Amino acid sequence: PNISSYITTAAQREGVPPSLMLALIHAGEKSNSNQVSPKGAAGVAQMMPDNLKKFGVTDPKDPLQSIDGMARYLKATQDQYDGNVQAMIADYNGGPRQAAAVLRGERPPAAETAAYMDRVNDYLTNRVGDDLRFNPSPQEVDAALMARGQRIV
């Protein structure tokens, strides 16, 4: 629940759909902070090394950095694809070539990306509402109020 709350916050900060980030993390990536894919994608957001660097992630094992990098990445693809969520999903998993196929109205040519899209879209349709409930702990409320107060001062 705490990670889902942070994902929602990061998405809102960057102006991307929180539901998309939640679906990508929980259904698409399904990884933990220490995981590295055979292709080199790392962290909970499973970003490739070049993208980690490009989007300011210096420690992919830090879930907050990883999520922040993912939010910045998605903002860039949202701008690139004029908000086409399906192209954003395809790009996140398989890159621009897969997104280009989606923009042409085709299924991504890579079977891995097509399966990834199916998982993410199923999650968006059937589960994401459960993740959007925010039930902060008293400590989280205190931390948010403290952070808000520090910005005002």
Residue 25 amino acid letter = I
Could you give all domains of the chain from N- to C-terminal order, each with its CATH number?
Answer: 2-152 (1.10.530.10)
Flag whether pLDDT at 34 surpasses 90.
no
pLDDT at 14: 95
Q: How many CA atoms lie within 13 A of 55 on its CB side?
A: 24
Query: What is the DSSP code (8-state) at residue 113?
Result: H
Percent of the chain with pLDDT over 70: 84
CA distance 122 to 128: 9
Distances from the Cα of 13 to the Cα of 3, 55, 61, 95, angstroms: 15, 15, 21, 24
CA distance 78 to 96: 12
Which residue from 53, 59, 71 is spatially nearest to 17, judged by alpha carbons?
71
Flag whether pLDDT at 84 surpasses 80.
yes
Query: What is the tens place of the pLDDT at every residue in 99-145?
Result: 999 999 999 999 999 999 999 999 998 875 554 445 566 776 677 66
